[in-house]
Structure formats: structure tokens, C-alpha cells
Amino acid sequence: MGSVAYPFPETTDFSAFLLKAQASGAKVIAFLGAGTDFVNAVKQAQEFGIMKSGKRFVGLTGYINSVMALGLPTAQGLTQTETFYWDLNPRTRAFMDRVRGQLPPNTFPCHNHAGDYAGLLHYLKAAAQIGVARAKASGRETVAAMQAMPTDDDAFGAGTIRKDGRKLHPTYLFLVKTPAESRGPGDVYKVLAETSAEKSFRPIAEGACAMAKA
């Protein structure tokens, strides 16, 4: 139905862009931005009654951190995509149990934080397999070992690394809960859909990565 770009960074008033989207007749308004921009846009969308009008507001780069900053009374009804949620399954809950004591109260990792953990863990597994001396001597050999090994961790479960370096794992479409549905801090998402690892990322043939051609 249309699109509009906002000046980045330092935009704090999204009213003109939101009102244009609201008037477009679109059933879904998708916001491609994160952090403070996303928080401000959602707050203003709620003020204009966009969600209450029946339109779906989607965060294309959603983070649980933004949902926590907004609070469920404001964030409820948002649709977001993430690759990790601490309360997704027994393994993600086990991961959260291990790191909870090292985090400030009511702080929950997003998929970026989980990705840092999973990437480092897989590197350490590869270094252990080929030997620390070889891993230190050759980054290329270490990367080759990482690609040859299947990935497996509590944040993302089983996965693989493609020849172009892309890590493959499922992605999830989440709906932010209402305050009444939440059982406590951090209980913010309901799973609407799961997309398989094979369908979650751009096919390697459509990329232009030189690593894939080596």
C-alpha cells in the first residue's frame, strides 16, 4: 500500500509517518527500526489508536529489550520476529537459568546476546577439536572447522553454518502478550509461527558472497 522513510538518526516525532501509514488503508504497518526509534514509534502509534483500530503493528527488527522498555500495556498486540526467546523451550530456559544471576533484575537477553554466546561456544568447540595451537595459527582453518561441525547450543538448538558463513536456524513470529496473559517479568511472547532454518534466510544462490564461490 505504500512506504515512507524517516530521517535517521535523531528522529523523535514519528507522527507524520504514522498518520500517513494509518491513512493508507494498509492492514499491517511494519516498522524497520530498532532501539529508541522503535520504542518512540510504538508509543506514538498507541497514542493515535492505531492498534485499537484493528491494524497490526509489526517490528521487523524486534527485540525483547524494546518490549520490556515499553511495558506490556503499551506493547501488547505487537508482532515481532526473533530467533531466540528465553522461554521458548526447556533448553532456552536452561540457558536463562545459567545467566540470570549475572544480569540486572528484569533483564532478558535478545537474539543478539544469545548469538554472541552461541557463536563463541561453537568457536571454542572447533578450537578444541583441531587443537588450540592450530586455531591460533590459522583463522581460515578454524572457520573451516566451524563450518564442518554442526552447531548445537541451548540458545538455538541444532543448526549448521553455510559455506558463505551464514548460520542457519529456525526463526519465530511472536505476538506480545497482554498484561493479563503474562505470568511475570519477561513472559512477553506467544509463538504465532515457526519458520524452518532452510526457509528463514536468503538462499545462498541469491547472495554475492565471495566465500561461497571459493
Strand runs labelled E in the chain = 28-31, 56-59, 79-82, 151-153, 157-161, 167-168, 171-176, 189-195
pLDDT in tens, 5-35: 999 888 999 999 999 999 999 999 999 988 8
Instruction: Decide the pairing of beta strands 79-82 and 56-59.
Output: parallel
pLDDT in tens, 46-79: 999 998 888 999 998 889 999 999 999 999 999 9
Position of cell 502478550?
A: 177
Q: How far is the C-alpha of 168 from the C-alpha of 173, rounded, in Å? A: 16
The residues with which 72 forms a beta bridge, in sequence order, are none
Query: Do 61 and 38 meet the contact criterion of CB atoms below 8 Å apart?
Result: yes
pTM: 0.89
| pLDDT > 70: percent of the chain | 100
